[in-house]
Amino acid sequence: MVRTLFFIGIIVSASGLIGPPLALALGLVYGLTTVHTFHSESRGLSKFLLQAAVVCLGFGMNLKEVVHAGRSGFMYTAISITFVLSLGILLGKLLKVGKTQSLLISCGTAICGGSAIAAMAPIVQADDEEMAVSLGTVFVLNSVALLLFPFIGWRLHLSQTQFGLWAALAIHDTSSVVGAGAKYGNIALAVATTVKLARALWIVPLAIATAMMKKSKAKINWPWFILYFCLAAVVATYLPRYIPQSVGALASLSHLGKVALTVVLFLIGTGITRNTLREVGVRPMVQGVALWIVIATLSLWAIHTGWIAL
């Protein structure tokens, strides 16, 4: 019965009948009310689908816009990552959160959520409990952000470009950033995806620097799918000039990416169970929430007042 409900949730999410926020909510209901016994399978599927979805979304984007958003967001990303990492480590010390947990939560908030945590964990030799707590903290806040950010954006009358930039700077995981952008509009989706992927690339120098400091020989996972996203944008920009009939196929691939993303958010929701919430604990959650509120508030203020703009 549990597996049947799981597959029904996937089918409904892929049908186009519901959007990303509702798919996430459906996954949360499933995760919190059933005994989900195949986390590893759904986690592996969601990782693959997310990367495939991001690449497919590239087929709906213009290369010039991608380059402009990535280049313009580079400085803001560098400043925000440095600030968030420093503040996160300071908060961890004040709250007496374990050093490894504190670093993982800070990296997840600063760069790309669960992907950053997964990349850093072997380098800092995190155990299963530290991984679970850090991922649980980030995934819970991701879920809140996906449901809350579009509402705040509409209330403050943010433009699609402003909202996309805010989502990329203040939401942890790529999946929730893209989901929030898709909910807000196509321009918001393009900006959010591009700036967030540029942000995700920072995991590579951070992982290398951490490995050097800790003299770790752990393998660093390179985010190759970001390169494929850029190649997809190249194809989408130039192929129609030579083969006009390709426009329909490119649009279909982009739509397929949105469908895959909706399924990903359902899968992520199913991973938040009662055990996950219990494992997180108070102090790591307080660190994660405080850090998230600070970066979300400051970045929103800077964007809304014009200090940050693309």
pLDDT at 216: 59
pTM of the model: 0.76
Q: How many CB atoms lie within 10 A of CB 5?
A: 15
What value does the mean pLDDT of the chain take? 83
310 vs 50, higher pLDDT: 50
Looking at this protein, which amino acid is placed at residue 301? W
Give the residue from 86, 61, 46 showing the smallest Cα distance to 196.
Answer: 61
Tell me: the pLDDT tens digits for 67-99?
766 666 677 778 888 899 999 999 999 999 888
pLDDT above 90 as % of the chain: 20
Q: Which whole number is the average pLDDT over 152-168?
A: 94
Report the sign of the C-alpha dihedral through residues 205, 210, 216, 220, in that order: negative
How many whole angstroms separate alpha carbon 130 and alpha carbon 138?
Answer: 12
Scanning the structure block, which residue is given the tokens 């949730």? Answer: 9
Q: Which whole number is the average pLDDT over 132-159?
A: 87
Query: In Å, how far are 116, 269, 272 from 10, measured between CA atoms?
Result: 26, 11, 16
pLDDT band with cut points at 50, 70 and 90 for residue 37: low
Scanning the structure block, which residue is given the tokens 């405080």? Answer: 290
DSSP-assigned letter for residue 69: H
Query: Looking at the predicted structure, is the pLDDT value of residue 36 above 70?
Result: no
Question: Which string of DSSP letters, residue by residue, matches 104-156?
Answer: HHHHIIIIITHHHHHHHTTTTT--HHHHHHHHHHHHHHHHHHHHHHHHHHHHT
Tell me: the pLDDT tens digits for 204-261?
788 778 877 776 565 666 667 778 888 888 898 899 888 888 889 998 998 898 888 8
125: left (phi over 0), alpha (psi -120 to 50) or beta: left
Q: What angle separates helix 246-270 from helix 20-33, to the nearest 10 degrees?
A: 30
Q: H or E element: which one contains 291?
A: helix 282-304
Scanning the structure block, which residue is given the tokens 């925000």? Answer: 80
Q: Which whole number is the average pLDDT over 296-310?
A: 87
185: left (phi over 0), alpha (psi -120 to 50) or beta: left
pLDDT at 285: 85
CA dihedral of residues 54, 58, 59, 65 (deg, nearest 10): 160
Domain boundaries, the chain: 2-304
Scanning the structure block, which residue is given the tokens 């219990």? Answer: 278
Report the sign of the C-alpha dihedral through residues 56, 24, 158, 306, in that order: negative
